[in-house]
Amino acid sequence: MAAQLEKVFNVEAGAYTTAGEASTTIKRTLKQLGASREVLRRVSVACYEVELNLVIHSMGGTLTLLVDPEKVTLISKDVGPGIPDIDKAMTEGFSTANEEARTLGFGAGMGLPNMKRNATDFDIQSEVGVGTTITMTFALE
């Protein structure tokens, strides 16, 4: 994959029916660029989880895809509400998802751990009242 690329997607809070559209477009884009199956799978899982988190937990935000010859980078940036305890949020099984999200089969507390497991590098920064930024990179080798 020799391409350089940057794409930004808006993700609306509470938009459950369209959740996954950004991830599907991102997967399609990477497939067209010739990413391997393994990279596609790992990016797809992490991307869908982070997109779902924006829908379920945030007040809205953006998902940015960056591609360079060495890696794929995904940046999720929202405008709040922020995570009070990141260590707790990273614990498998812990979830603050609401009833609506749980009825749809989300809120198993696997989102953030799933992202960390699939990304080569995972970074999360959050401030209550300001927002959360998650940066994930995926090595192409």
Among 58, 76, 114, 137, binds another protein (CB under 8 A): 114
Among 10, 24, 91, 98, binds another protein (CB under 8 A): 24
Judged by CB under 8 A, which stretch of 5-13, 81-89, 101-109, 120-128 contacts another protein? 101-109
- Beta-bridge partners for 133: 77, 125
Binding flag, residue 23, another protein (CB under 8 A): yes
SS (H, E, C) the chain: CCCCEEEEEEECCCCCCCCCHHHHHHHHHHHHCCCCHHHHHHHHHHHHHHHHHHHHHCCCEEEEEEECCCEEEEEEEECCCCCCCHHHHCCCCCCCCCHHHHHCCCCCCCHHHHHHHHCCEEEEEEECCCEEEEEEEEECC
**For another protein, the closer CB: 20 or 60:** 20
**For another protein, the closer CB: 29 or 79:** 29
Binding flag, residue 106, another protein (CB under 8 A): yes
Judged by CB under 8 A, which stretch of 63-71, 75-83, 106-114, 119-127 contacts another protein? 106-114
- Beta-bridge partners for 123: 135
Binding flag, residue 19, another protein (CB under 8 A): yes
Contact assessment for residue 134 and residue 115, using Cβ atoms and an 8 Å cutoff: yes
Among 4, 37, 99, 129, binds another protein (CB under 8 A): 37
Residues that bind another protein (CB under 8 A): 16-21, 23-24, 27, 37, 41, 44-45, 48-49, 52, 104-111, 114, 117
